[in-house]
Amino acid sequence: MEIEDLLANPAHVLAKLKAGNKKQALQDMARRAAELSGLHERAIFDVLLERERLGTTGVGNGIAIPHGKLPEAKKMFGLFGRLETPIDFDAIDEQPVDLIFLLLAPEGAGADHLKALARVSRLLRDRAICEKLRGTDQADAIYALLTDGAHSHAA
């Protein structure tokens, strides 16, 4: 599972996301995900909120990976958001979040869903990549950083 399998093109990048809080960020991302995927915005938002109720997807170091499974989803889907101003996301390290990678999977994805989560997590653990992501507000540049083959095979 490669990042470009999740992010089909630069339209899957929200480079200047403006949100004042976690709920608004999830709403804005659910709206864009619905536009790109054809899934229902409310279903996306509800599954993300439900997952957050189980425990935060704010994994630390300014990063959140909200995710969920939808029966209507036909394939894995990703959307990346770079917030202009970091927000409280109830992250495990209690630090504000400014990089959000939303991941949606079909209901029966099972191992593929876990592999995609692991792949995204590995990518965003790379501090150098995160610094570069924070250093640009251009969707094309962010997309290129996320899908660059040089680090897409890193363990």
DSSP element (H, E) containing 64: strand 63-64
Which residues are catalytically annotated?
Answer: 67
The Cα 85–Cα 87 span in angstroms is 6
In the block, tokens 């994994």 appear at 59
Show the CA angle centred on residue 4, arms to residues 48 and 116, nearest 5°. Answer: 45
Show the CA angle centred on residue 122, arms to residues 69 and 139, nearest 5°. Answer: 75
Residues 14, 29 contacting (CB under 8 angstroms):
yes
